[in-house]
Structure formats: structure tokens, C-alpha cells
Chain A
């Protein structure tokens, strides 16, 4: 074993695991200017998400969302990616960890392997291109955009290494490769090692292992996936026929008491099953019957409840509230599910063609060993233990955790935790030396002025997206005949790391000075290609993208010949115009590094303190007289943490911090500027003093309001309280609680109703929390909980189990048959249907606690949304930029959201999101200048007749007639919309990057064929 010792500065941060969580943490850190080493035990990165088909609730393709991030990770200089690597020892303390990393032999030189597949063709069983990920064959591609884009050799095949070396045209086979160990220094460590999905090979009572048509959720995702074994066709494994009836069984292996079961809830499986059912009906026809057998449907995430409702109403997915005791394969091969129909109490039996087992997360077998190596505590379920107010900190200072290594969760929650972990790691690790940033390493731009056009054309096939429709080779051949074209090539997946490198080397070797990409949307991919040009020493504006995917193959998928012709036209247009593309320089402004935090609750203060501790100047604006927010009214969390004490500490620290200016009784009234240079007008109380706050970024943490609907005699009868009230009563008046004989709780009061369709997420755990506390004070009290679905995801389930054990009675009700409440003087009776007994019960109660949840501060968020131009959800919460991958950023650049302003969530989740917002802000403010791009209107002074048309046309009021009597447009304020350029009758205004010459050339290129 070879050992390399290196001395590294302790500003580096180690991220363990390159699934979506680790990738996100690594990218946040690199954006903020930190150097990251990202390791993964697998030979290519992506983790679990790369194996999924579509993401809820948007039903976007998972790979399309993930792969730009994979490729981005590969391209980032700040991120050193070490695949096939595991952590073997850790010494030292926070800020100075000495970590031993063990790299398994790959036998393939990453720098040389082009993933051409020759080795695989000759020896399919000796090499892998990330295999083992679907049940078809061990050599199957995980996904075409694998990063690193290279094969690896099975260790057992290394005896044949010389034969492999003979067939490799790239000379990439390393015959002498072996395990290597190196020790490096890190300032902080982020664990994103993930978890596994429970995948039993055999579960007799569910016919798993007996029938190949009983699949796990992940296997079903592989069937739906375009890169899966059936290429996205829905065919059942046993006979390759299309199934007509599919059943999902929830909680397989979770929330159970059998030996193979775990007690906790895996949180994501309800949404995953609903999504699979919806996608099935959406893609393969409404005649496929989809039934989901469940105990509770747990759709507690933001807008997830709406997705659930759509699944029922729009897609006709059937939900059966029952945990079937068995799946039996009958003689005909059909699967028979017997279950107890709750409404009738009778046993029913139905046949299905396929059964999907929604199996949840399990800690991976390496977790215990990794925990020991790291010296961190694990909880009783063998996930990393964290604290109520320190949601991403392990028990060992300096080691942080995110994603499913910490507990079961879905993608947005993982992303938020990843950013939060990145935030704390940045705080722990030394700040790197300024100027050491690898961004400075890009070569000088080559001066191409006066050179004749030397054009390189690269046409992508984008897998089947483009290559499946048109003849890419014919397009390339056509491009090669066009004037000025020196290189015309097929690029495969042009956005993959390998293709980018190929383009870069072509630019250098052939001296290309203009590049045309025949590919997808410039909106998503232009920056990627621009960076490649820049790395190759060309000005980044010398590239033109012909969008032959979105504008051609996607829309004319059934017309291959015409599509090929159109692709040729589009590429010819791009070739014609690219020669007129000039080098442009980007406009820059200095970056304002202070941050405006709106809202002084737990989220706002957590973010403000975190940023201030790292030297950022923060202005915290709160409209109320005191800091503290809604959490200031809370006392205890479900886990028993003292929320009140935590809030007091936050308030004291915020008020005392030298970098935080806290303005209370302050209202935001106007706003202008751009990310890095915002100006926001506030009226600061108590006397409405107007001030301009200049800031580079904004965090919205304005919270939500506790709901108090006028239902069930709330506000009319003294015995009727909310769970929030009850939280206070238990702390302040325990004698009163001790006198209660019977307590009734009603869930979903004012939530999941037609006027407020979403789930408030926290009320089930509040109810469980209060049950446990009441029973502690008054062990004899009888407690009834009337619920629709008990939603205690993750480890909260343990508390719900405890509540049941302590004798709380949980009775399910449907929205159509709500409980009734009747007051007779002091007395209060509650009546409800007991579906098991089949009759209506009536109990006299001493306390009726309503689980009322959150409602958005509609007026407040709307006011801010109008001033800041932000989007909101239908129920008045701020709408994030991307539900899945950007759950912290808002649609306007420079704005992030934290806490309940984003949607109902617990204090712990709010703290996580606040830290995540801080990380995103640090990434945004990492640079010293704001790059405004080059698109801006430019006035030709000699042609301007000062006719004022541009002054009037500009929607942003930028042009003005200057002292010289001509129109002047401040390029740094210009939005680049081009309205003035279109209006100007003298053609004195041109929009840089959209010059007339470029557009005319495009048209000439198109019409050439007609001449």
C-alpha cells in the first residue's frame, strides 16, 4: 500500500458521498470560493437520485435536473472529485482534521479513458460503466452522462489486465493499479454518505422473490426510466406484457414490528408512490388501474397535499386505507391481494398484474463502521445523531451531516440540509488565502480580430433526444461543407465533461475562433459552452447555439427527414451568423457584501447571526416591536428541546452582535437594484424614519401566522384551545392539566380543507408532543385523537408509537364526516364516528385541543412580493425558484427564503433552511464584482437625433438625453430587453450580442437555400 503525505492548508473541506446531497454541498462550497474534495465509494457519482425516473411534485425528468449538476461538478476547479474512494481514518479536531483516504484501484486512467466502450465490447464481464444499478445486466450504463465519464475494471478481472490493455485504443488501462492511501488535512467534514433503499430479495408473504412482478419502488422507477432496462416502456418483467392493474403497497419494511421491519417512517415513499402512479397513468394511459394501499398518506411537504389531491381527482389514482396482510401468486401468475376494507369491515380480494413495494430507507451497512471511524454518535436507528437546534451537526465538532445519512428524507430537504452543512463547514474551516482562487487560472483571451473565421461545429445527439430523431451524421456532413467551417464533429452529449474537453482541445489544436453548437437550449446550456471557450482562451461570446433539440427534434419527433433538414437549416443559420459575433467584455460593478434579512424570528436571527459571525454586515428588519417571531410563543419541541430558551439566546445575541443592525417596527416600502447592489427603502419605527439600506443579497424570513379558524367553538368555549395554546398551558398551569379526565384533539382543523388545501405539517407532531406531556403530568387522562392521516414522518414516528403505547386512542375521520362539538354550559361534548365499531361515539371532554397549523401572512407576503417582484404560491407562501433543486432561492436572483415564509415547517427545519440561506448568500457574495454580462443597449452618438422615442419606450426609464443632446443609456442599469433598439427610427441603438449584422446573417443563412 502506497502512502502519500501532503501538507494541505486547513481551508479545504471534505465531502463524503457524491449523491445529490454531497454534490449540492460541494457546489455551494465551491461557489463560495472554498476548495472541496468530494469522495464517493462508487466509481461514478450521482447516488440514488440518478436512478430515479421523475421527481415529484413537478414530474420533471430526474436526470435532466441532475446531470447538469454532475457535469458542473466535474468541471469545477474548486472541486476535486475522487471516485472509488473511502474514508479510512480521521484524527485531529474541528479546523484541523487529518483524514486518511483509501482509493480503490480502477485500473483505468481517467485522463485517457474516453468511454469508447471497446473494452466492454470485448470483455463485458470484466469492466463496468457503473454497473449494478439495474437488474438487467451488471454492465448496464447507469446513465449516459456518467461522471467521471470512464469505465472501471472489476478487481477480480485484474488478472486479465493485459488482455484489456491490448483492446484499449486510448491506452487507458493501468496494468499496475492498486489500492492507494493518502492523508490530507481538512478544516471540516461533511457527511453525505446517504442511505440504502430496503430491497429484500425475498419476502414470502408479499410473494417477493416468488414472482418477478413484485418489484421494489426503485425497480419500478428503473422500468419507467428512459435509460432503464425496458427503455422507458412499461412492461412487466415476467412476460414482457403491458400491465393493466398495478398495486402499490406502502410501508413495506417500515412502521412495522416484524423482525425485518424498522419502526420509523421513511417520509418520501408516499409521494414517490403517488408520483409513480400518476406518471404511469399520464404516460401509459388512463386505462391502467393504479391502487395505493396505505396506512396514512403522508404528503406533508410544500404543496405535496395538492399533488395528492390531483392524483385522486385528475389522475384517478385509487387510495385504499389498509395494510394488506399478503400478496399471493395464483396459478395463472396473477397476483392476488387480500385486504380488510375498513368501511365495510369485510375482507376483499383483488387481482393485480404488478405489485410495487414502497420500501423505505435503511442505513447502509457501512454506516456503523463509518460512525466509529469518525467518532460520531448514531441514533438508535443507526443514522447520524443530530440536535434539535443543530440539525446538521454531528456529535463531533467540525463534522456535519446532510441528506439520508442523517435520516429518511426527500430531495428538497436533502438539498436544504446540504447547503446548511456547507454553511457550517465554511464557518469552521479556515478561510482560504484570497487570490488563490483557481478562477484566476483561465488563460488570457486570444485576440481574434482580423482573423478569417475558423469555425468549429459540434452537433449533439443528446441520447435519443436528438439522435433518436434526426441523422446527426448528415447534419455534421452538411456543416462541414459550409464556408469557414474547419471542424465539424458529432459531439454525443455535448454537455458531458468529455465532450467539453474535446471541444476545448479542438479550439486549441485547430486554432478555431468561432464555435457553433447544434444542441439544446442556450437558456440552460449557453454558460456551460461559454466557459469552455473561455478555458480554451477564446472570448466567451464567440459561440452560437443552434437549438436543434427544443426547436426541432422535440417538436417534430415523428418527422425524421424534415427534422434532419431543419437541423441543417438551423446549423447553417448559426454558422452564417457566428462570424459576425464579436468579442465582448462583460460589464462589472462592485459587489456590496452586506445582507438584508427581513423578519426577526428564529429563521431570520439564525441566518443573520451566522452571516454576522462570518464577518458580513447584516441589517435585520422586523415589523414587530420585539424579535422572536412565532417561535417566541413556543415552549417545547416534540423532542423536548426548550424552544423558549433558544429564542431568548438568539435575541440576546442578535441585539448584542456588532455586525447586526436590528431595526424593529420597520416596514419595507421600496426596492431597486440588482443582486450585489440592491437598495431597499424602509420606514424605521417607531416614527417611520425613512432609510435606504444598501445590500448585496436578501433573505426573506417573514414567517407565517398561527391559524385560528372559527371552528369547533374556538374562542367561544373556554375548554377549546389550539395546540399552540396547549403548549403554553402545559408549561404554565400543570395543575389544570392534572385535573383533566379526558382530552380530545382534532387534527387538520383549518388545513386540508377546500379554503386551505395544504397540510400544515407541524400539527401532527404538536399533537403527539402534547399527548406525551399531558400523560407525564396526568397519567390517568384519557386522550382521543381524531385524525385524517397521522403525519409523523421520519423518527417522529417513534413518538407517535409511544403516544399509542401510553394509551392515546387514535380515531380516523374523513373530511366528509367531521367530528361534532356541543357545549352545554361549562361542559363540552365531542361526537365522532368510530369506523371500527361502526357507530357514532360521544365523549365529554375537559379540553378540546385543535391542531390548527399555519396560515401564510397573506397581506404581508403579498406586500413584499409586490415590492420585490417575487412569486407566491396560491396559499400565499413565497415560491422558491425550483421546488426540487433550488428550495432556498427565490425566483428573483439575490433573494433567498428561510423558515415558515416558505411553507409550514418546524423550528428545526427553519434553522436548517436559515443556514442554507446563509450558505447561498455567501456563494452569491463570494466575488468582489458583479458581472452584468455584455447584453446592453449601445447608442451611436452620431446617428442619434434625440427624438426621445427610446426615453419613452424604455420600461425601466434608463435612457435620457444627456448634456450633449444625445440619448445616453447606462449600460450597468440597462436590462437588455432591446425595446429601444427596436423603436429607434435612426437605427442609432444596437443591442450588444444581438446586433443587426448577426441577425441579418442568420436570415441570409436560412434563405440561402431558397436563392
Chain B
């Protein structure tokens, strides 16, 4: 059953995010994915996330397809103009990629190639509209395609520091859904109750909601997020829980598993984000009994 079918049928999906390497050694990526075979529904391949130059998401997503996974490819407009975006999407489809998420790209000033020039030809909304056009057999210039793709496109909803920000983000998401987004990926939140209430409000847009489960790794990381991302809702109690744990890393994995389990029945699925600890995702699934 394809990811699209699962999403539309209301089945709970588990996505795992995996970065491509900065280089051509794909062994770690493949090994990390293979450890999750049969336990996840798709691999999400970011495109130079956080402004770090890496192997393209297109190649990564195609590689995952070859490895027998369904892949979800990130798309954004910073590095490609509308022609390159469309060309790559068509190429990806031919290589087996069926799912994309339209995301916001990191500011070029925050990227590790300071001299790179941004394109920013299309924003997220325009890209979603463009994808819908491609699905309908027309490119952005209005030319007919020879064979049209059938992408399932999703959009994202960022961390929101307060209610106002959430309202604004919800408004954006509404437009994106109207432009063709078939699901919403929500940024990580650690307070389950608050997260579920956000999920429920996003659900009103009429599409499945996929919250992100970010794996914490240490007290320092938890403290950093607590200070810098108030919208992620990390409480003092959570930090204290990691501090008190006999094995802090295990405790962090357990906490991720608890949040993952908590979303069952409440959300359309989850996206697991390990940020470098992809090799520990099986342990999270073990702890969640999945």
C-alpha cells in the first residue's frame, strides 16, 4: 500500500528523516535505513537542510526507492529556479519518487556556502501550485507535459512561540492546503497535550497531520531548545527527568518513544527526526512497541 493510500485511508504512518551525506559515501545512509526495513512507511530525505551542502535530495530519494523504501523528498525554491524545480520533479518521478514536502529553505546567510547566491524564484505556496499544475499535465509556462506525474505533496507548519504565531501559521497552512498540500508536517513539540491540541486544530484543514518527533540527546540540547524555541514546549520537568536518568541517552530515546506513542490515534502519523542519531531509531521504535 502506498503512503498516499495509507494517509487517505487514515492509517497511522511512521516516517523517518535521513540526511544524505556530504560526499558520495552512502553506506551509513543505506545501513541506517536498512535497520528500519519493515518498521516505517517512508524515508524523508531533506534537501541540504539547515543550509549544509550535501548530496541532492533527488538522488537520496531515488536511492531509497532503489533500496525498497518509499521516499518523501523535500522541495524548496532557494537554490533552483522554476525550470530547474520542474525538471527535477519530473526526473524524480521517473526514478520512482511519488511524495514531496514543500518546505522553507534556510536563509542563504545561514548556509555553509556564504558566497552562494539565492534564487527564491518561487515561494512555498507557488511551488505547491506548480506541483498541482504538473499533476494536471501543465508546466508553469502553460505547456502540456508528455506524461504527467501524480505527486502527493505536503507542507510544513513551523514551531510557534505563542497563540498569535500559531494562528498566523495556521492561516498559511490553510492556503497551502488550498494550493494542493495533501498533508501537514508539524514542527517538533515536546508537551504532548499541547501538541495534540495543535494537531486537532490543524486537522480542521481537512488533511492528515504529521507531527515531528525530535529525539533529544542530552540535557544541554534540551536546555538549548527550551531557551531558544519556546514553542517546542520543553518543560523543566523533562530536563530534570533526563538529568536524573541512570542512562541519559536511553532516557531520551524513551521520551521520544512516549511522544510517538502519544500521537497514535491523535495524528495521521509521525515523522521521526534523529538529527545524526538515525542509528538509534530502531531503539525508539522498540521502546514504543512498534
- Taking Cβ atoms with an 8 Å cutoff, the residues of A that contact B are 623, 665, 667-670, 681, 683, 685-692, 859-860, 862-864, 866-867
By the criterion CB–CB under 8 Å, are B249 and A863 in contact?
no
By the criterion CB–CB under 8 Å, are A669 and B218 in contact?
yes
Given A689-B52, A690-B275, A683–B217 Cβ distance below 8 Å? Answer: yes
Which residues of the partner chain B approach A683 to less than 8 Å between Cβ atoms?
217, 221, 224, 275-276
**B249's closest neighbor in chain A, by CB?**
A670
By the criterion CB–CB under 8 Å, are A668 and B110 in contact?
no
By the criterion CB–CB under 8 Å, are B52 and A860 in contact?
no
How distant is A663 from chain B, measured CB to nearest CB, in Å? 11
Given A670-B277, A681-B276, 9 more A-B residue pairs with CB atoms under 8 Å apart are A623-B220, A667-B220, A668-B220, A683-B275, A687-B106, A688-B221, A689-B49, A859-B223, A863-B223
Which one, A685, A692, A862, contacts B219 given CB within 8 A?
A862
State the 10 A-B residue pairs at the shortest beta-carbon distance, nearest first.
Answer: A690-B276, A669-B217, A863-B219, A687-B50, A689-B50, A667-B220, A690-B275, A863-B220, A669-B218, A667-B221
Which residues of the partner chain A approach B275 to less than 8 Å between Cβ atoms?
683, 688-690
Which residues of the partner chain A approach B276 to less than 8 Å between Cβ atoms?
669, 681, 683, 690-692
**B245's closest neighbor in chain A, by CB?**
A866
**B273's closest neighbor in chain A, by CB?**
A688
By the criterion CB–CB under 8 Å, are A686 and B110 in contact?
yes
Of residues 224 to 244 in B, which have CB atoms within 8 Å of A's CB atoms? 224-225, 228, 239, 243
- Taking Cβ atoms with an 8 Å cutoff, the residues of B that contact A are 49-52, 106, 110, 217-221, 223-225, 228, 239, 243, 248-249, 275-277
The contact sample of 17 A-B pairs, CB cut-off 8 A, is A665-B224, A668-B218, A669-B221, A670-B217, A681-B217, A685-B224, A687-B49, A687-B51, A687-B110, A688-B221, A688-B224, A688-B275, A689-B49, A859-B219, A863-B223, A866-B218, A866-B219
Which residues of the partner chain B approach A688 to less than 8 Å between Cβ atoms?
50, 221, 224-225, 275
Give A867 to B50 CA distance when docked, in angstroms.
25
How distant is B215 from chain A, measured CB to nearest CB, in Å? 10
Which residues of the partner chain A approach B228 to less than 8 Å between Cβ atoms?
665, 685-686
Which residues of the partner chain A approach B248 to less than 8 Å between Cβ atoms?
866
By the criterion CB–CB under 8 Å, are B220 and A669 in contact?
yes
**B247's closest neighbor in chain A, by CB?**
A866
Which residues of the partner chain A approach B52 to less than 8 Å between Cβ atoms?
689
**B214's closest neighbor in chain A, by CB?**
A688
How distant is B243 from chain A, measured CB to nearest CB, in Å? 7
Give A691 to B248 CA distance when docked, in angstroms.
20
How distant is A847 from chain B, measured CB to nearest CB, in Å? 32
Give A669 to B216 CA distance when docked, in angstroms.
9
How distant is B279 from chain A, measured CB to nearest CB, in Å? 11
Which residues of the partner chain B approach A863 to less than 8 Å between Cβ atoms?
218-220, 223, 243
**A687's closest neighbor in chain B, by CB?**
B50
Which residues of the partner chain B approach A665 to less than 8 Å between Cβ atoms?
224, 228
Give A670 to B221 CA distance when docked, in angstroms.
11
Give A39 to B239 CA distance when docked, in angstroms.
56
By the criterion CB–CB under 8 Å, are B220 and A864 in contact?
yes
Which one, B110, B224, B239, B243, contacts A667 given CB within 8 A?
B224
Given A683-B275, A862-B243, A667–B218 Cβ distance below 8 Å? Answer: yes
Which residues of the partner chain B approach A667 to less than 8 Å between Cβ atoms?
218, 220-221, 224
How distant is A108 from chain B, measured CB to nearest CB, in Å? 61
By the criterion CB–CB under 8 Å, are B110 and A623 in contact?
no
Which one, A691, A692, A867, contacts B218 given CB within 8 A?
A867
How distant is B2 from chain A, measured CB to nearest CB, in Å? 30
Give A688 to B228 CA distance when docked, in angstroms.
11
How distant is B133 from chain A, measured CB to nearest CB, in Å? 31
By the criterion CB–CB under 8 Å, are A860 and B224 in contact?
no
**B219's closest neighbor in chain A, by CB?**
A863
Give A691 to B218 CA distance when docked, in angstroms.
15
Give A689 to B49 CA distance when docked, in angstroms.
8
By the criterion CB–CB under 8 Å, are A860 and B220 in contact?
yes
The residue among A665, A667, A668, A686 with the most chain B CB atoms within 10 A of its own CB is A667
How distant is B58 from chain A, measured CB to nearest CB, in Å? 21
Give A859 to B239 CA distance when docked, in angstroms.
10
**A690's closest neighbor in chain B, by CB?**
B276
Give A665 to B110 CA distance when docked, in angstroms.
13
**A860's closest neighbor in chain B, by CB?**
B220
**A858's closest neighbor in chain B, by CB?**
B243
Which residues of the partner chain B approach A681 to less than 8 Å between Cβ atoms?
217, 276-277
Which residues of the partner chain A approach B110 to less than 8 Å between Cβ atoms?
686-687
How distant is B250 from chain A, measured CB to nearest CB, in Å? 12
**A668's closest neighbor in chain B, by CB?**
B220
Which residues of the partner chain B approach A670 to less than 8 Å between Cβ atoms?
217-218, 249, 277
Give A867 to B221 CA distance when docked, in angstroms.
12
How distant is B103 from chain A, measured CB to nearest CB, in Å? 12
Give A667 to B239 CA distance when docked, in angstroms.
15
How distant is B22 from chain A, measured CB to nearest CB, in Å? 10
**B22's closest neighbor in chain A, by CB?**
A691
**B228's closest neighbor in chain A, by CB?**
A686
Which residues of the partner chain A approach B217 to less than 8 Å between Cβ atoms?
669-670, 681, 683
How distant is A622 from chain B, measured CB to nearest CB, in Å? 12
Which residues of the partner chain B approach A687 to less than 8 Å between Cβ atoms?
49-51, 106, 110
**B217's closest neighbor in chain A, by CB?**
A669
By the criterion CB–CB under 8 Å, are A859 and B243 in contact?
yes
How distant is B276 from chain A, measured CB to nearest CB, in Å? 3
Which residues of the partner chain A approach B219 to less than 8 Å between Cβ atoms?
859, 862-863, 866
**B239's closest neighbor in chain A, by CB?**
A859
Which residues of the partner chain B approach A623 to less than 8 Å between Cβ atoms?
220, 224
Give A666 to B277 CA distance when docked, in angstroms.
16
Give A830 to B277 CA distance when docked, in angstroms.
57
Which residues of the partner chain A approach B220 to less than 8 Å between Cβ atoms?
623, 667-669, 860, 863-864
The residue among B51, B52, B275 with the most chain A CB atoms within 10 A of its own CB is B275
Which residues of the partner chain A approach B50 to less than 8 Å between Cβ atoms?
687-689
Give A981 to B88 CA distance when docked, in angstroms.
56
How distant is B130 from chain A, measured CB to nearest CB, in Å? 26
Give A231 to B93 CA distance when docked, in angstroms.
90
Give A105 to B106 CA distance when docked, in angstroms.
75
How distant is A695 from chain B, measured CB to nearest CB, in Å? 17
The residue among A665, A668, A683, A691 with the most chain B CB atoms within 10 A of its own CB is A683
The residue among A860, A864, A866 with the most chain B CB atoms within 10 A of its own CB is A866
How distant is A388 from chain B, measured CB to nearest CB, in Å? 33
Which residues of the partner chain A approach B221 to less than 8 Å between Cβ atoms?
667, 669, 683, 688
Give A685 to B227 CA distance when docked, in angstroms.
13
Which residues of the partner chain A approach B51 to less than 8 Å between Cβ atoms?
687, 689
Give A863 to B224 CA distance when docked, in angstroms.
12
Give A669 to B219 CA distance when docked, in angstroms.
9
Give A864 to B218 CA distance when docked, in angstroms.
9
How distant is B271 from chain A, measured CB to nearest CB, in Å? 15
Give A687 to B49 CA distance when docked, in angstroms.
9
Give A512 to B52 CA distance when docked, in angstroms.
62
Give A778 to B245 CA distance when docked, in angstroms.
55
